[in-house]
Amino acid sequence: MLKNLCQKMFGRSLWVYHANSGGCNGCDIEVLNVLTPYYDVERFGIKLVGSPRHADVMLCQGPAMRSTAQALKRAYDAMPAPKLVFAIGSCACGGGIWFDSYSVLGPVEKVVPVNFYIPGCPPRPEAIIYGVAVAVGLVDKKTAPVKFKQIEMPIPRYHPQDLSGRDELVVYEKVEKV
C-alpha cells in the first residue's frame, strides 16, 4: 500500500534532503558516492536538495542525539506533506555502537517516523540504491525474518524410572525423544 502511494504521489522522482544528526561521516561519503557518475542515481530522478522545504525524502544518518534531536524534528516538520524518511546506516537504524552512551538517545525512529531502513556500517552505495529502488518500486525486498526451532531433542532423554531389572540385566525400556 505504501509502495502504491509512493508511486502515485512522487511520480518516481524523489528529491532528497541529507540530514546528519551526529554520525561519523561514513554514511555521508557513501551517499555522496551514490550521486557520482559511477552510481548515477539521477537515472531514477533522485536529486540532492539543500533545504528540507524542497525535499520529498529525508536521508537520516547518525543516531538521534541529545543535542540534535530537536533540530532533526524541526527539519522533519519543515518538509512538505507527502514525505518519507530513510534511515541509512546502523546508527540511524538502531543507535549505533555507542547506543548506551549518555548523549545518544537511540535510533532516529525515536524522534521521526522512519519508512525505510538501510542497515550497514556504512552501507555500500549499491545497498543505498537498492533501498531507494525498493521504495520507488523497481525491485522487491530480499530480506525476511529467519526463525529456526529445534523440535526434537538431539539426544534421547534419560528417565531413571524407566529402568527395569531383568535377570541380572538392567534394561532401559523407553527410548523416546522429547
Partner 1 sequence: MSVLSKLKEAVICLKAGRVTLPYPAQAQPVPEKFRGRPIFDAAKCTGCGGCANNCPAREILLFDLCQEIRILQYLGRRCAYCGRCADVCPEKAITMSHEFETGTNSIGDIQQRVELFMSTCQRCGRCFKEPSTLEQLKLKGYRVDDVAHERWVFRSKSYLETEPVVDDIKIEMD
| Residues in contact with partner 1 by the rule CB under 8 A | 2, 37-40, 43, 64, 69-70, 73, 90-91, 93-97, 99-100, 105-107, 109-111, 115-121, 123-124, 126-135, 138-139, 141-150, 152-155, 158, 178
Asked if 44 and 15 count as a contact pair (C-beta separation under 8 A), the reply is no
Q: How far apart are CA 94 and CA 57, in angstroms?
A: 20
CA 36/CA 96 separation, integer angstroms: 27
Nearer to partner 1, 27 or 55 (CB): 27
Q: Among residues 15 and 33, whose Cβ is nearest to partner 1? A: 33
Q: Count other Cβ atoms within 10 Å, centred on residue 33.
A: 15
Nearest approach, Cβ of residue 167 and partner 1 (Å): 27
Cα 136 to Cα 5: distance, rounded to the nearest angstrom: 10
Q: Which is nearer to partner 1, 4 or 54 (CB)?
A: 4
Nearer to partner 1, 52 or 123 (CB): 123
User: Would you say 138 and 110 are in contact if contact means Cβ atoms under 8 Å apart?
Assistant: no
Name, in order, each residue with C-beta under 8 angstroms of 146's C-beta and a sequence gap of 6 or more: none
**Smallest gap, in angstroms, from Cβ of residue 95 to partner 1?**
5
Closest to partner 1 by CB, 50 vs 143, is 143
Find, among 100, 19, 103, 33, the residue nearest to 62 by Cα: 19
Residue at 27: amino acid letter: C
Task: Output 100 or 168, the one with its CB closest to partner 1.
Answer: 100
Considering the complex, what minimum distance in angstroms separates the CB of residue 151 from partner 1? Answer: 9
Smallest distance from the beta carbon of 118 to partner 1, in angstroms?
A: 5
Distance CA 38, CA 25 (A): 20
